[in-house]
Amino acid sequence: MARMRIGELLVAQGAIDAVQLESALAHQRRWGGRLGRSIVSLGFLGEPVVLGAVGAQLGVPFMEIGDRHVPPAVLRLLPEKLIRTRNVLPLSRVNEPRGAAVVVALADPGDLGILDEITFATGLRVKPVLAADDDLTRAIARLLDGATFRPGGFAYRPDAVDLPEDTSPLTLLRRGDGWMH
């Protein structure tokens, strides 16, 4: 049996009606992107509802990361560069009859390239969990940097200090309004 498309699934669940689906499809055609993003942008549904349906469609659980604690040993299962560049977050390590696995939150659990990278980096099977991209970004910053996000998406560290301005001769020459004559 063919898998139902996300728009059809949301209509079948009664989350949106056919008129809203047509509006979202028109929005998607005009602006591009994923249909779920259009549905959220138009205010028809919240992101958790759409992602829950996407997760159900893919057979992958959806999770809101929020302030979830991740033990440092679990964070170290993946290289920090991979976590940051691919926006993925290891949540736990589990032992199953088929062997050890790592539960990883990611925004696109259907991306086989990311799943392969995680398997290669950890040597473990991957159990993907769907999470919102922004939720992942905030959680990664909080867990790896101790950073929090201000409105507008700018990260800051509460323990950061202002560094003194570099006044070395080379820097001063570069800051001038032209070449020295």
pLDDT value for 146? 74
pLDDT above 90 covers a percentage of the chain that reads 67
Average pLDDT over residues 72-98: 94
Is 173 contained in some domain? no
pTM over 0.85: no
Is 121 contained in some domain? yes
109 contacts 89 by C-beta, under 8 angstroms: no
pLDDT over 80 (residue 154): no
Higher per-residue confidence, 48 vs 147: 48
pLDDT above 70 covers a percentage of the chain that reads 80
Residue 59's nearest CA partner among 110, 107, 12, 93 is 110
Same domain, 81 and 130: yes
Q: Which domain holds residue 49?
A: 6-58
Strand (E) or helix (H) holding 90: strand 89-96
pLDDT over 80 (residue 179): no
Confidence of residue 19 (pLDDT cuts 50, 70, 90): very high
Pick from 4-18, 52-66, 140-154, 157-171: least confident: 157-171
pLDDT value for 10? 94
Is 107 contained in some domain? yes
Is 18 contained in some domain? yes
Average pLDDT over residues 128-146: 92
Is 177 contained in some domain? no
